[in-house]
Structure 1
Amino acid sequence: MPGEAPYLAVADVLRARILAGEWGVGERLPSRARLAEEYGVGRNVVQRAVDRLIIDGHLEGRAGSGTYVRSPRERLRLVRSRHRERPAGFPLRPGTRERGRADAWDAHSQVRVSAPAEIAGRLDISPGDLCVTTHYEFLAAGQPVQLSASWEPMALTDGTPIVLPEQGPLAGKGVVERMRSIGVVVETVVEVPRPARATHAQANLLGIGAGDLVLLIERTIYDTRGRPVETADMVIPDRHREVVYEFGVDLP
């Protein structure tokens, strides 16, 4: 095997053998010792290669039993669109059809939480300023498909009926409608997507492996004055979802 990053070379060979059907879904791979002997590498190299294929979704480890070929999972599309509401009968563009959309969510809010420095910077407030933070777990057919951690400055909503996003007269109506009810008009939404690896806590909630690929979307919502009114970190498992951004064109 090549001397540089040999575990990646072993992972490539094993992946090719799996995709070629040498081992079927649910079939156990040979032992680490046998693979190490076959490829002329140490067992630690094979272990790292197997770990890589587990992260990539090709294999799964079963405690006390071994490593098995994992059943492929369908990746459903999640459409991020500037069109929040569509006229009746207005379809998505061909190729952007969305299935498995979140149909329920669990949420837990905390009030008077001091803003960490990073969140304060995104909200254009001072570190330590009080916020409402809400943690969401979005579900599709009862299965977790997305996490979100939202922050809103309490200076904006304190003393109003909308201070808690999921309680009160506008519970669950979303940031735009809630803010409009207190005279704040949302104008701009900025999203910054970047790849990341799932933490242990995120993996437990999403039913994936720690270290699995996720898409982290940093979203900040601004009003007509350019003031940030909410910022959130959304976590979407790459194994289950592909994210599609759809934009309309402003006609002259």
Structure 2
Amino acid sequence: MPFGEQPAYLRVADDLRRKILDGTLPPHTRLPSQARIRTEYGVSDTVALEARKVLMAEGFVEGRSGSGTYVRERPEPRRIVRTGYRPGAGQSTPFRQEQGDEGFKGTWESTSVQDSATARIAERLGIRPGDRVMRTRYLFRSEGEPMMISVSWEPMAVTGRTPVLLPEEGPVGGQGVVERMAALDLVVDNVSEDIGARPGLAEETSVLGGVPGHVVIEIQRTYYASGQPVETADIVIPADRYRVAYRMPVK
């Protein structure tokens, strides 16, 4: 194949994608059948099938059991604003603080369990694999719609046998890492976030809504107090419905 020339299945996928984007094939319309694609584009069954697979992987179409393949509705992505910690925010939750809007209607649910640190989490927390950690899983919602999953880990060498052992319980439960660590006389002074994208796992997309394999945004966040990691988390956001916007102060 000459350099720059697309394979036949990509040319077919490009044309069908264009029809979806310009409204020729609106949401909830059934995608042309494999036989029709083969006839209209003069391609083989294999090419027609691969073109449909591309559109499905990109999130433009979805299969409906016993019915066929249909164009997915693609809502305008909403913004998830990340502003970091803002002191003096009163009783505003960290989740609401990050959205930068006191009218933000965000809720969440969580479960916490003791666990052993995997090698990956141990490296991020500066502890040994197998050391005990408190693992907390969150599901955040905006106006009732699931918007992101977060799984956090805290070393029990820091929080064990203290009033802040459980992130959502105790005298400063639900107030966030900064306030909770302050109760232990630890000053959180730095946070790092590594951002990437990957295919969503079946468990994640079943909770967030979507199809396994669709792209999600993953943020790996770690809080530090004088260089010591005190909490790390994996935050997962559906990329087709949300954009992550950062607002950082200039000092």
**TM-score of the superposed pair, with normalisation by structure 1:** 0.87
Instruction: Give the alignment partner of residue 140 of structure 1, picking from 129, 142, 149.
Output: 142
Instruction: Give the alignment partner of residue 103 of structure 1, picking from 102, 106, 116.
Output: 106
Q: Please tell me the residue identity of whatever aligns with 1:107.
A: S
1:181 and 2:183 aligned = yes
Q: Could you say if the C-alpha distance between residues 97 and 189 of structure 1 is closer, same or farther in structure 2, counting changes exceeding 3 Å?
A: closer
Identity of aligned residues (%): 44
Separation in 1, partners of 2:183, 2:38: 65
Give a deviation string over 1:186-208, Cα, whole Å, max 9, x none.
00000000111100011101011
Give the match for residue 50 of structure 1.
52
Separation in 1, partners of 2:185, 2:26: 60
Q: Could you say if the C-alpha distance between residues 209 and 67 of structure 1 is closer, same or farther in structure 2, counting changes exceeding 3 Å?
A: same
Task: Give the drift of 1:71.
Answer: 2.1
Give the match for residue 240 of structure 1.
241
Q: Could you say if the C-alpha distance between residues 20 and 4 of structure 1 is closer, same or farther in structure 2, counting changes exceeding 3 Å?
A: closer
Alignment check: 8 A CA contact 2:110 2:138 kept:
yes
Task: Give the drift of 1:170.
Answer: 1.6
Give the match for residue 197 of structure 2.
195
Instruction: Give the alignment partner of residue 75 of structure 1, picking from 66, 74, 77.
Output: 77
Q: Structure 2: where are the runs of 5+ without partners? A: 91-98
Separation in 1, partners of 2:184, 2:213: 41
Task: Give the drift of 1:27.
Answer: 1.7
Q: Show the 5 A alignment for 1:26-37.
A: 26-37=28-39
Give a deviation string over 1:219-248, Cα, whole Å, max 9, x none.
01000x200000000001111110111111
Task: Give the drift of 1:102.
Answer: 6.2
Give a deviation string over 1:136-172, Cα, whole Å, max 9, x none.
1101111110001100000001100110111222221
Give a deviation string over 1:89-111, Cα, whole Å, max 9, x none.
xxxxxxx9879956111111111
Q: Structure 1: where are the runs of 5+ without partners? A: 89-95
Separation in 1, partners of 2:132, 2:159: 11
1:231 and 2:232 aligned = yes
Task: Give the drift of 1:74.
Answer: 2.0
Q: Please tell me the residue identity of whatever aligns with 1:73.
A: P
Alignment check: 8 A CA contact 1:77 1:98 kept:
no
Give a deviation string over 1:20-64, Cα, whole Å, max 9, x none.
322232221221121123223333432332233233332222111
Give the match for residue 170 of structure 2.
168
Give the match for residue 159 of structure 1.
161
Question: How many residues were matched structurally?
Answer: 241
The root-mean-square deviation of aligned C-alpha atoms, in Å, is 2.5
Separation in 2, partners of 1:135, 1:221: 17
